[in-house]
Amino acid sequence: MAMMTGEQYVESLRKLKLNVYMFGKKIENVVDNPIIRPSMNSVKMTYDLAEKPEYEELMTTVSNITGEKINRFTNIHQSTEDLVKKVKMQRLCGQKTAACFQRCVGMDAFNAEYSTTFEIDKEYGTNYHERFKKFMAYVQENDLTVDGAMTDPKGDRALSPAKQADPDLYLHIVERREDGIVVRGAKSHQTGITNSHEVLVMPTVAMRPEDKDYAVSFAVPTDSQGITIIMGRQSCDTRKSEEGADIDVGNFNYGGHEALVVFDNVFVPNDRIFLNGETEFAGMLVERFAGYHRQSYGGCKVGVGDVLIGATALAADYNGAHKVSHIKDKLIEMTHLNETLYACGIACSAEGHKTESGNYLINLLLANVCKQNVTRFPYEIARLAEDIAGGLMVTMPSEKDFRSEEVGHYIEKYLKGVASVSTENRMRILRLIENITLGTAAVGYRTESMHGAGSPQAQRIMISRQSNLAHKKALAKAIARIKE
C-alpha cells in the first residue's frame, strides 16, 4: 500500500473498534466527537503535508527496510541529515497546527527499539530485531500512526516495580504462554492514542533482576481486546462541544488529547514481543527513547512557539502597542528563546552517531540540554505573550454574548482596539493566545514542556552522567600546569 492521504487516514480510524470513555460515558464515534476531532485533525496534517510537493523532502524519505517511499514519521534514521530533517519537519507541523501532532512518540520509540533489539539479540541470540523490522515494514507499508507508550502510573515512587503494593501499577506480564504473553497494567499521559492504529509499549524505568515480569516491550492494535482508553480532562475542553462554538475555542481545527490506557489481560503474540524479561536492557531502551523524544521538543515546541509569537505580535498590533519599545523588546526575547530551543534540537541531531544496528542516535547530552531548556523557555514565552496580550485575554465575554442581540453591540463597541481591526478579529487572536498558553493546547505546549519526555530532574541526571567532568578537569589541569 502507498502512503495514505489525510482522508484515507481518517477513514482508516473509522474501522477501529476502540473502547473509549470520556466524562463517564462510552464514546461510540471517536472520529467525529467534537472534543476529540481537533486532535485527530492534527495527526491528519502529518499525512496532508506529505502529499504536498513543496514539503516532500521534509515529510518523506526512503525506507531502509522496504526500499519504498515512506512518511518520515515512520522512518528509521539513517544519517545525521535524517535527524536534522526530523526536527525541521516537527517545526513545520507545529507551525501548521499550533498543537501536538502526536506521531513523534511513535517515531522516537521506533528508533529506540531498532537499536536496542539489535543489542539484545547480540547478547542473548534472541530474534527481537527481526521481529521488530517485520513490524516496522508493516507500519511503513500501511503508513500507520503508532502511539508510543512508556509512562506507568508508578504508584509509590520510593518502591521498585516488583515491590509495589499493587503489582499492576507498572505494566507487567501475568502469563507466559507458548504462543505469546498476557499483560496487565496501564500507561498514563498517552498522547493521541485514539488517533493511532497501534500502540508500542515500553518499560518506563531501568529494571532490576526481580523486575523481570516488568521488563516488557511489545506492539498491539489499539482496539485489542482488554484495552480501555479513558480520556483526560483539559482546561476549556467542553468549549469545543458548545453549540456554534468558534471564537471561544481559540484553535478551532487542531488540538491534542491525553488519556489513561488500561491493559486488562491483553494478549500479545510472540511476533509482537520485543523485550521479555531482559531487565538489563530496559534502561537502555528508556534512555534512548528519552533522548530521541527530548530532541523532538526542539522542533515541535518551536513550531507552536512560532504561532504564539505571531499571535502575540498581532495582539500588539490590534492594541495599537506595536511601536512601543518594551513591546518590541519582549517580542525579540520570545524569538530569542524560541530559536535557542531550535538550535539545541538541530545541534543534538547534527552531533548524532551511528549505532551498531545501523540507525543513528542523537547526541544524548545535547538532547537532554535541549529538553532542560524546554522546561523553562516556553513558560517565559507564554508569560511574555500574556503580558503583551493584556488582561482581556482572560476576562473577555463569551462568543454567545458577542453574538447576542441584547448585549453584543456593547462588546463590539467597548472591546474595540485600533479602528482598522474588527472587534471579532481582536477576540479571535486573544482566544488563540489563551488556547496555547492556558487552554487545551497548553497540554501540547506549556504544561507538556515541563513533564513530557521526563521531568526536569530526569534531564539533569542525564546531563550529570554525560557531562564528562573528568575530561574537563584534565583540560583545566593541563592549562594550569598541574602535575600529580
Question: For residues 55-77, b (16+ Cβ closer than 10 Å) or e, as one string?
Answer: beebbbbebbbeeeebbbbbbbb
Q: Which grid cell sits at 182?
A: 498476557
Catalytic residue among 74, 116, 191, 279: 191
| 236 flagged as catalytic | no
Which residues are CB-contacts of 34 (< 8 A; sequence separation ≥ 6)?
240, 241, 245
Determine the Cα–Cα distance for residues 189 and 293; give it in Å rounded to an integer: 14
Residue 408: the pLDDT is 98
pLDDT cut 70: percent of the chain above it = 100
Catalytic residue among 170, 292, 297, 342: 297
Catalytic residue among 100, 344, 348, 370: 100
| 351 flagged as catalytic | no
Residue 443: the pLDDT is 72
Contact 437, 382 (CB under 8 A): yes
Indicate the annotated binding residues: 191
Average pLDDT score, the chain = 97
Query: Does the pLDDT value for residue 367 go beyond 90?
Result: yes
Contact 214, 170 (CB under 8 A): yes
Q: Which grid cell sits at 350?
A: 547534527
Q: Which grid cell sits at 117?
A: 533489539
Terminal-to-terminal C-alpha distance of the chain: 66
Residue 439: the pLDDT is 83
Determine the Cα–Cα distance for residues 279 and 286; give it in Å rounded to an integer: 12
Catalytic residue among 61, 293, 318, 437: 293
Range scoring the smallest mean pLDDT among 97-106, 137-146, 232-241, 293-302: 232-241
| 344 flagged as catalytic | no
Determine the Cα–Cα distance for residues 63 and 80; give it in Å rounded to an integer: 15
Query: Does the pLDDT value for residue 95 go beyond 80?
Result: yes
| 293 flagged as catalytic | yes
Which residues are CB-contacts of 135 (< 8 A; sequence separation ≥ 6)?
219, 271, 272, 274
Catalytic residue among 93, 104, 344, 348: 104
What CATH class does 285-469 carry?
mainly alpha
Indicate the annotated binding residues for FAD: 191
| 104 flagged as catalytic | yes
Catalytic residue among 93, 300, 344, 348: 300
Which residues are CB-contacts of 180 (< 8 A; sequence separation ≥ 6)?
267, 268, 269, 270, 272, 273
Q: Give the number of other Cβ atoms within 10 Å of residue 474's Cβ.
A: 12
Residue 440: the pLDDT is 78
> Per-residue confidence at 6, pLDDT binned at 50, 70, 90?
very high
| 297 flagged as catalytic | yes
Q: What is the pLDDT of residues 16-60, one digit of tens each?
A: 999 999 999 999 999 999 999 999 999 999 999 999 999 999 999
Cα distances from 332 to residues 58, 325, 338, 346, 380, in angstroms, run: 28, 11, 10, 21, 12
Residue 102: the pLDDT is 96
Q: What is the mean pLDDT of residues 318-336?
A: 98
Contact 448, 379 (CB under 8 A): no
Catalytic residue among 113, 258, 287, 434: 258
Residue 1: the pLDDT is 67
